[in-house]
Chain A
């Protein structure tokens, strides 16, 4: 791989998405650098999750290209696509744990699929991942239906981390968590990023999370995208962005940072 491509993990060019006659993304460009935490914000229905899904290849875009690790998503197939999928982990909004399997089995699904590890090592790795996401060890033998919402998110994160991915997609990881759990989640992402050198693509509505862990933020507004740091975006003239970052909630969350 060439050095120039190496520090762009995600490269979106001229992406168009839509449902029926409704256009959601109108020729948007986005770059995510290696090792950076990119936050995605936008109003309800602005296509945050659609953007995430089109980057990981779940939604074929109408136009434009998406490159992840230099590989064109949607064009690569078979073993190349698998090789790509091994390098990223995805945390879905509702966790998407397989309900017929225990938490440990859920974490071991990618291990079983993609490695030749022995069962005992897989059990150990599952325990390690649970420790990393801060879940007690007896969680391993529980079924998703026995877990609380916050625990499901953590268990799903443990599964997303199973293959030690370089790139992590998080879809609203702190939505529905109490503020204490949400804070812990932020800390967790921060420490994982530091120790594993992760690149994180983070869809969120949580201003505290945005302030705490993101390097740059992409705002989806009027089918377009604006990218910048929090400070840059606060100076943006767009009314929606003004409202978002300088409204009562925005100020409370951002100014407390000092």
Chain B
């Protein structure tokens, strides 16, 4: 590492105390390059007793770090009960030293370290905050629902079709490559694992049943939702959050523009349209992935594969997966936009809330998926 100490050229700062300790002489370059060393040496100085004279007139170069060290030395000598009889410094540097003389003696206390008590308090605080957060999101849900209702009731004035179409493109169309590729690979993995296990029972054909059911009921919609939460939910938070940092949201409010109508509803409606379509596409790609695997590993040709698939899954299975998609889309958009509006007016806050939006929406998607599973099993679907 390059340090300023290495880079400095020329004479360095020095000081010496004469034998009886009544005269401190300083000279050379008292600059930041020498200050780390001078600091250690000055701190090691014995306080001594009686009057003292500080002669700094041989100092050739002084900057604010060096001036502080001089000043600190004078103060600590005085604090130790020694009277500074004379203090000489080249005329040039007197204003610098004087301008620093208002500086407080001790550095302000560093931030407090956390003890057990503080940690307990932090846990309590976080718990209360989590509760408040849930309460706020619930309130937000209510507000968005009301606004959405109004928008649907009077679509001409409140619904921004162009913005919605843009969001469908951004969150749906542009996500096709990544969603397609990942679903295809998931299909390959499921088929591969199933073949290995089912071969032990000579029931390889059941691979197709398993693949169809897993892909259509669970994996298609879950994978798509998680990808979209990471891709679009985070984008919502970052976009709205950056607008908050730039005071754009405030500007819109003062112009009487409804931020829910303009920012939240297009994203929400766009995603509610896009996610089911993406899910359908993901289902398809997953099954293609499985089919490819079956063709390679089991030698099942496509007509056979399709016939078996048709026996195993019905429209019902597909619908069970697809019906979850709009709900997940709604949750992802709600959390993404909500966190965006929570951003404070600094850059760090955008990152913090974006992370939170992704974590919260993925969490909620999985919890809701579990709830759906329970509901469907109770309803016997």
The chain A residues found within 8 Å of chain B, CB to CB, are 79, 82-83, 86, 99-100, 102, 104, 113-118, 120-121, 123-129, 131-132, 137-138, 140-141, 144-145, 161, 163-164, 191, 194-196
Contacts and interface: CB of A to CB of B under 8 A. Distances in A.
B5 interface: yes
Interface string B49-69: 000000000000001110010
A-side interface mostly:
helix
Interface of B: 1-5, 7, 31-33, 35-36, 39-40, 63-65, 68, 72, 93, 95-96, 99-100, 102-104, 107-111, 344-349
Contact of B107 (A123, A145, A163, A196): A123
A5 to B, nearest CB: 15
Contacts of A164: 31-32, 63-65
A115 B36 contact: yes
B2 A195 contact: no
Contacts of A102: 111
Contacts of A82: 2, 7
A131 B7 contact: no
Given A115-B36, A137-B108, A125 B5 contact: no
Contacts of A120: 107
Contacts of B64: 128-129, 132, 161, 164, 195-196
A114 B40 CA distance: 17
Most chain B CB neighbours (cut-off 10 Å) among A124, A144, A161, A191? A124
A100 B1 CA distance: 24
Nearest to B94: A195
B355 to A, nearest CB: 14
B347 A118 contact: no
A118 B36 contact: yes
Contacts of B65: 125, 128, 164
A99 B39 contact: no
B108 A128 contact: no
Nearest to A163: B32
A189 to B, nearest CB: 13
A123 to B, nearest CB: 4
